[in-house]
Chains A and B, each alone.
Chain A
Amino acid sequence: MTISRKDIEKVAVLARIRVDEEQVSALEKDLGNILDLVDQLGAADTANVEPLAHPLDAVQRLRKDEVTETNQREAFQAIAPATEDGLYLVPRVIE
């Protein structure tokens, strides 16, 4: 299975990763090779096979509705790229 330049450009936008022109060519080859490897899956007979999301057939445990967290804003914002008045700052959305 090949992956087109257009696919790569689309996927890069979805993944929010800037990809330059020359990188697209390298990715076309590398991702193409990876997808070739992955295409072996097509050979498997999986009729009537349930997908397996987790190795153990466990079910979710639920937490009691009790407040366990305290305000640690200062510690978390000390490692933030930009904050003001307790808010995280990000560039504006340009639509």
Chain B
Amino acid sequence: MHNKSVAELSRELERGEISSVELTQQFLDRIKQEDGRFNSFITLTEEQALADAKAADEQRAAGNATPWTGVPFAHKDIFCTNGVRTTCGSKMLENFVPPYDATVTENFRKAGAVCLGKTNMDEFAMGSSTESSYFGATTNPWGLGEGEKRVPGGSSGGSAAAVAARLVPAATATDTGGSIRQPAALCGITGLKPTYGRVSRYGMIAFASSLDQGGTMARTAEDNALMLNVMAGFDPKDSTSIDRAVPDYTATLNEPLKGLKIGLPKEYFSDQLSPTMEEQVRNAVKEYEKLGATVKEVSLPNAKLAIAAYYVIAPAEASANLSRFDGARYGYRCDDPKDLMDMYTRTRAEGFGTEVKRRILVGTYALSAGYFDAYYLKAQKVRRLIQQDFINAFKEVDVLMSPTSPSPAFVQGEKTNDPVTMYLEDIFTIAVNLAGVPAMSVPAGFVNGLPVGLQIIGDYFSEARLLNAAHQFQQVTDWHQREPQ
């Protein structure tokens, strides 16, 4: 049962082969049994899940089912869930139970899906390894046999590990600089970061507002399409969400790929990429050629500046976004503050972890008097150059392909003491967020027994085409079906 996809489980529920209550109980049991090894969940909502499952079975019986009715899944703990603790991986929100839902949460609720719990993540989504969580690191289900524990990537490492370990068939995630694609790659699953503005950010705790985007994680592209059908759409509560019709993303999965023009950005096949990783990615591209696609080299000349621009813009926005965590109205407050200043400075020093504080300080510095032009304004100009690179590339090709990460899953603790080395994990994913275009990571092979991800980048609002390309690849490969031991 746990190996089945959302599409398969949905069909079985539809045919009455299993009830949602049974299904939910099986997954809950599996989480309780297995997650001790991965720590992929921060909160398990057993009671609520079973109640929702019961309601879903009633909905099905009444003939009011959607494809999601009764299907279990999990939310990254960055999406606010009414009545369920939402921590964002931080001590600051250790006991925060929002009295409201994120729009994404509400959408899944309306679709009848059964949320089993909230998944682990880097604190406030700042990280590439899910090691900065206040609730402990998440362990990648892959590579466990080696005696060393490996990271699942981040920041959505809890969702990725849970899906890879078959604890849930699907999980929501968010991506600010690669936080869906990199963990999807490192855990051997499929993930999609939609176009900026495609999925509402309301109730999704902000890291960097102009880069954050909610998205999907599952083992198959088809399941990602099913998720996006629920998540995508205009939200009057999010000023940056886009009012544009949402297609049925499953409807075009089977379109043939003949004539698809693939571009390989030469900057993403550079020395930073190990030859073994490169080989896997090039093999994947060859599969696409077999499916009728054509391949050419393209250039994203400013891509090399993406990390630098990102590490100004994201911390700057974060420094303001995280000011609301001040101990006054909700969340953590330090013990016995002696005055207001003391409450602020100790609450924030104690409530935030090292990486979050580092980024707030960098962002504060970049915006402070005398540096605004040199840092923030300059970074926004570079951001336009990077966007222009993508616009130019999509004049020539339909999609871009590259490795998702420079290397497979690394050992826990290896990069925690060197923030800059950690930042380079996102070297191939960050430009996509700056430009706001959609991108996926699709399992495309293994190196030393560890999964390798193929990144597929599309033009604005081309999610259907990306899912189609990923789905067709998954019809001729089985990388996405491999199960960690």
Contact = CB atoms under 8 A, between A and B. Distances in A.
A and B touch in the complex (CB under 8 A): yes
Interface of A: 3, 7-8, 10-12, 14-19, 27, 30-31, 33-44, 46, 49-56, 58, 60-61, 63, 72, 75-76, 78-82, 88, 90-94
Nearest to B423: A37
Contacts of B196: 54-56
Nearest to B96: A79
B335 to A, nearest CB: 11
Contacts of A41: 305, 308-309, 312, 375, 378-379, 382
A88 B379 CA distance: 39
- Top 10 A-B pairs, shortest CB-CB distance: A55-B436, A51-B380, A46-B381, A52-B384, A18-B345, A16-B344, A75-B99, A18-B349, A81-B333, A94-B339
A52 B419 CA distance: 26
Contacts, number: 177
Contacts of A3: 365
Given A15-B360, A17-B349, A54-B240, A80 B329 contact: yes
B357 interface: yes
Contacts of B330: 76, 79-81
Given A46-B378, A58-B242, A40 B99 contact: no
B396 interface: no
B460 A40 contact: no
A54 B197 CA distance: 10
Given A14-B364, A41-B308, A54-B240, A30 B344 contact: no
A15 B348 contact: yes
Interface residues of B, number: 74
A91 B327 CA distance: 10
Interface of B: 95-99, 195-197, 210, 236, 239-240, 242-243, 302, 304-305, 307-309, 311-312, 319, 323, 326-331, 333, 337-346, 348-349, 352, 357-358, 360-362, 364-366, 368, 374-375, 377-385, 387, 418-420, 423, 434-437, 460
Nearest to B234: A61
B419 A30 contact: yes
A38 to B, nearest CB: 5
Contacts of A51: 377, 380-381, 383-384
Given A14-B368, A41-B379, A55-B196, A91 B348 contact: no
Contacts of B346: 18
A60 B435 CA distance: 19
A59 to B, nearest CB: 10
